[in-house]
Structure 1
Amino acid sequence: PMGRFDGAMVAVIPLSALQPDLDDPALPSGSQAALTDGAGRVLTASEAGVFRLSGGDDLAGWVSRARAEGSAVFEARDARGERRDYAGAALAGGDLYALLSAPSQGLLSWARLNPIGTLLLPLGAWLTAFAAVMLLSERIFIRWLDYLERVAAIYARGRFSVRPLQAMNAPAEIRTMAKTLDEMAEAITVRDRELTDALAEKDALMREIHHRVKNNLQIISSLLSMQQRALTDAPAKAALGDTRQRIAALALIYRTLYQSTDIRHADAREFLNELVGQLIASEAGRGPVVISSVDADSLHVDPDKLAPLALWLVEAVTNAQKHAFALNGGELKVRFRVQGDTSVLEVEDNGPGAPAGAEVGVGRTLMSAFAKQLRGETEFVAAPGGGTIARMTFATPEALIPVDPSDKSSIGKGTGAVGSR
């Protein structure tokens, strides 16, 4: 300080005092250590003979590798001919180097395993952690998600009685999802039950309405019957009789509906059989014997279409009873065929036939009107064996299915032949 020199102190450590500590348990058995300078000359060693190579080779070559790579590992024979592994690295800058040596054990030597372990141990640790995560995910989450997926698939098929009870032992997130599925299934079940109850109640109400309408029509028919018996004028009595027949046909519609399994539709085959039987029976005790037969395809028909169909049939049968069977009776044939987009209803009698130039009465006028309600038309043709055929051809009601599977094969053929079965 202030340009004044106070002196100097020098500390000297003899190289012989720099003995490495070989008691470290990390060192392999038989390890020796040395310090070398930058030229590879041994400055001090725990055992000098270990670091003198056989053949007079020196250790200078390893220093250049240590300088370039930071460390060097090699195998050589020492002065005694023993194969040893050497590993060295710079200790202080480029002036001092540490060199370790141990008996060689081939591929399993510590010098070779140490660099490999530097790479393999992290890789092994990563693979172990990955396997553990996958196993943990499989055990905790994936299998529970698969379980919930199976439950959801069952719900998609409409079975809501299954409950995800096993998921109660799952982690919290899975339990929450299972609880949500359970609540959803319960809500759907309750809603379906309420809808079913509402439909059942509506069905019961509709049946009650049909039953009451049928009863009211029967009351009207009974009143007309009483009035008919009180009349002395034959045309008036006949007119009331025709009206009673029409009202009875409508009452039969409502009776058929409330007695059927589906109150929205009635089977045409069953209805036509019962209506024809009712019409023939009503006149059985007041005239000659009439034999009737019905050959009909099965078809679900709603009340809107069934009413004009029934009233047309009432007029056709009534006309046959008045004009074809009034004197001698005969045979009445009713045929109903579904031919794809069109249907045909026929009433055939074996009477004398309509006289030429006969006037069109109220019955035929009504039959034409009823046919128009069904988008059809009425025609009267002579029967092959004598008599008359009243035929109504109309559009087949949409989206209605035959009840009898044997009738399905005939639908869509479009054949015009209407033969008896």
Structure 2
Amino acid sequence: MRFQTALSPADTAWLLALVADWQMIADLAFSDLVLWVEDVEARGTWAAAQIRPTTGPTTLLEDVVGSFVPTGRHPAVESALAGRAPVGGVPDALGRAVHAVPVRRAGRIIAVVERRREDPGTRSAGALESAYLEVADELFEMIRRGEFPGDTHRSELADSLRVGDGFVRTDPAGVVRFASPNALSAYRRLGLVGDLVGARLPDVTAGLLSRRTQAHGSPGLLAGGEGTEGELENATATLRIRVIAVRIRGESHGSLILLRDVTELRSRERELLSKDATIREIHHRVKNNLQTVAALLRLQGRRLSNPEARHALDEAVRRVGSIALVHETLSHSAGDAVDFDDIADRLLRTVLDVAGDGTVRAERVGSFGSLPGEVATPLAMVLTELIQNAAEHAFVDGRPGHIGVAANRIRDRVKVRVSDDGVGLPADFSAESSLGLSIVSTLVQTELGGSLAFESRGSGGTTVSIALDVPAARAG
């Protein structure tokens, strides 16, 4: 429409709103629908959109969107575009009935909906099919008069309801003229005894909701008037509904109501919310317990006179703190994944506390992305050990220095480089030479299934490279 027609943005928005709702119309009409728009140079018509019914066979085995039909070869569509009487029931070359319905907006015809359906032959329509076709004809009449789709806002709820889920037709007073079997089953789940046909739907719904103390939703949604949508819920069931007011020439012809029983879906959602809240609470309590352990270790360390023993307890406090940090972040996350960039930045800030005199700077470049908790916890401990080790041993005699953490995330592959510009590695370096580096090696290779490499740069300084995979199923 943008490149092949002269339609205005408002016209285009109207047609987009129509197309957003026409799966419902196709299902009610048991017909394929094709939206035709006139070429900007009036050389013919373009197929802008197409939909097939889910309630019957299709007449269009191939997609026709983007097809161009020159003037003179599409008489039914051209007649409707010209404003002549809608053409209906004209058989095509294969004997299928073709109807052309003009799409009117603000008094102008801006497009044509072609309705194609297999010839039902002599078969008589049942009650359900007749009710569907009656509403379809009314909606097509509203389209022809510029009364549908209208300018009302549509939420995502409208796209989740289908004609086959549940269909109710009411008259202008709200009395049910027809209810499909699925709609009746949904109301029985809500507590209905008896039939819906002949009953005033708002009254019936109000009675079903008022019988339960846990009632939500307003039966006024079903009272007709402007189209609306929402949910009706009591202690036994939850129904999702959409009401479409049928108005022709400004007069009410009742309402079309689509509904679905979503009781099981809402029950599962509540279970998931409960489990999510429980998991968050567990992470919160684990964090609190770890902080308690760290506090006890600090108290014990203050009572020790042996510097080596006190230093060992300080390192234990730091390791416990890095694990607690991950659990604290998980307790605020929507799922079992955390934004690891925030954790890395908080770990780096501890370097300044360790250096003490403000001579060591630390920064992060790149992004880790979102990591699952089972990866974040050991990786946080690894970074803590490497940062602490660099801060304590890379810079001698109080010289200033820089520690950097570079992260590179490509899909499910994470590469990390922890670098400093200090004195470099000693000649007799071994990853097993200290408890901290032994912990790093074990966590990277065993817990994370990654690789680890130490490099002493010729210009001074050390780089530790880590590479690991984050399985797609666990990645955030």
Q: TM-score of the superposition, structure 2-length normalised?
A: 0.49
Shift of 1:250: 0.4
Matches of 2:288 and 2:169, distance apart in 1 = 58
Q: Does residue 1:158 correspond to 2:232, yes or no? A: no
Distance 1:206 1:333, change over 3 A: same
Equivalences for 1:242-391 in 2 at 5 Å? 242-260=315-333, 262-277=334-349, 279-285=350-356, 287-325=357-395, 327-328=397-398, 329-340=400-411, 342-359=413-430, 360-372=433-445, 373-383=447-457, 385-391=459-465
Equivalent residue number for residue 392 of structure 1: 466
- Which residue matches 1:142? 129
| Change in 2 beyond 3 A, CA 1:351/1:176 | closer
Q: Give the deviation of 1:384 after TM superposition.
A: 6.1
Specify which of 185, 198, 201 is matched with residue 180 of structure 1. 185
Cα distance in structure 2, aligned partners of 1:146 and 1:327: 89
Q: How many percent identity over aligned positions?
A: 26
Tell me by how many angstroms 1:368 deviates.
0.9
Q: Which amino acid aligns with 2:184?
A: K
| Structure 1 counterpart of 2:71 | none
Q: 1:165 & 1:250 partners in 2: Cα distance?
A: 57
Structure 2 CA distance for partners of 1:263 and 1:177, relative to 1, 3 Å = closer
Whichever residue aligns with residue 165 of structure 1, its letter is V
Cα deviation for residue 352 of structure 1 reads: 0.8
Higher helix proportion:
1
Question: 1:387 and 1:164 mapped to 2: Cα distance?
Answer: 73
CA 1:307–1:326 in structure 2 vs 1: closer, same or farther (change >3 Å)? Answer: farther
Structure 1 position 339, deviation (Å)? 3.6
Match of 1:240 in 2: 313
Q: Which runs of 5+ in 2 are unaligned?
A: 1-119, 140-155, 190-237, 240-259
| Match runs of 1:391-410 below 5 Å | 391-399=465-473
Structure 1 pair 336–155 and aligned structure 2 pair: CA distance change class (3 A)? closer
1:259, CA displacement in angstroms?
1.6
Alpha-carbon deviation of 1:176?
4.2
Aligned-pair CA distance for 1:223: 1.1
Measured at CA, do residues 235 and 397 of structure 1 come closer, stay the same or move farther in structure 2, by a change above 3 Å?
Answer: farther
SS of alignment partner, residue 263 of structure 1: coil
Secondary structure of 1:283's aligned partner: helix
Tell which deviates more after alignment, 367-376 or 135-144.
135-144
Q: 2: distance between equivalents of 1:177 and 1:320? A: 68
Q: Which residue of 2 aligns with 1:27?
A: none
- 1:163 deviates by 6.3
Task: State how far apart, in whole Å, the 2-side matches of 1:146 and 1:401 are.
Answer: 49
After superposition, the Cα gap between the structure-2 partners of 1:343 and 1:139, relative to the gap in structure 1 and judged at 3 Å, is closer
How is 1:42-53 mapped onto 2 (pairs within 5 angstroms)? none
Shift of 1:140: 5.4
Opposite residue 342 of structure 2, the aligned amino acid is: E
Mapped partners of 1:230, 1:210: distance in 2 = 31
1:239 deviation in Å? 1.2
The change in CA–CA distance for 1:342 and 1:165 in structure 2 (over 3 A counts) is closer
Unaligned runs of 5+ in 1: 1-132, 403-421
Distance, in Å, in 2 between the alignment partners of 1:213 and 1:157 is: 42
Partner SS, residue 262 of structure 2: helix
Higher strand proportion: 2
Shift of 1:376: 1.2
Is this contact kept in 1: 2:352–2:358, CA < 8 A?
A: no
Aligned to 1:114: none
Post-superposition shift, 1:312? 0.9
| More moved, 372-381 vs 355-364 | 355-364
Structure-2 change in CA distance of 1:136 and 1:398 (3 Å):
closer
1:202 aligns with 2:272: no
Code of the aligned partner of 2:473: A
Q: Does the alignment pair 1:224 with 2:297?
A: yes
| Contact in 1 for aligned 2:337/2:370 (Cα 8 Å) | yes
Cα distance change of structure 1 residues 190 and 346 upon mapping to structure 2, 3 Å threshold = same
Structure 1 residues 41-91: Cα deviation after superposition (integer angstroms, max 9, x where no partner): xxxxxxxxxxxxxxxxxxxxxxxxxxxxxxxxxxxxxxxxxxxxxxxxxxx
Task: Give the CA deviation at 1:299.
Answer: 2.2
**Aligned-partner residue type, residue 385 of structure 2:** E
CA pair 246-188 structure 1, distance change in 2 beyond 3 A: farther
Q: What displacement does 1:311 show?
A: 1.1
Query: Which structure: larger Rg?
Result: 1
- Give per-residue Cα distances to partners, 1:349-389, cap 9 Å, x unaligned: 11111121135222221111011121112111024642001
Q: Report the residue type matching 1:291 in the other structure.
A: R
In 2, Cα distance between the equivalents of 1:148 and 1:384? 81
CA distance in 2, matches of 1:147, 1:249: 67
* Aligned amino acid, residue 166 of structure 1: R
Cα distance change, pair 284–180 in 1 and its aligned pair in 2 (3 A): same
Partner of 2:272, secondary structure, is helix
| TM-score for the superposition, normalised by structure 1 | 0.55
Instruction: Call closer, same or farther: CA 1:325–1:148 in 2, change over 3 Å.
Output: farther
SS of 2:278's equivalent?
helix
Name the CA distance, whole Å, in 2 between partners of 1:138 and 1:211.
Answer: 62
What whole-Å deviation, never above 9, does each CA across 1:259-279 have from its counterpart, x for those lacking one? 22x2310012222112222x2
Three-state SS of the structure 2 residue aligned to 1:351 is coil
Q: Secondary structure at the match of 2:331?
A: helix
Aligned length: 263
Q: C-alpha displacement at 1:135, in angstroms?
A: 11
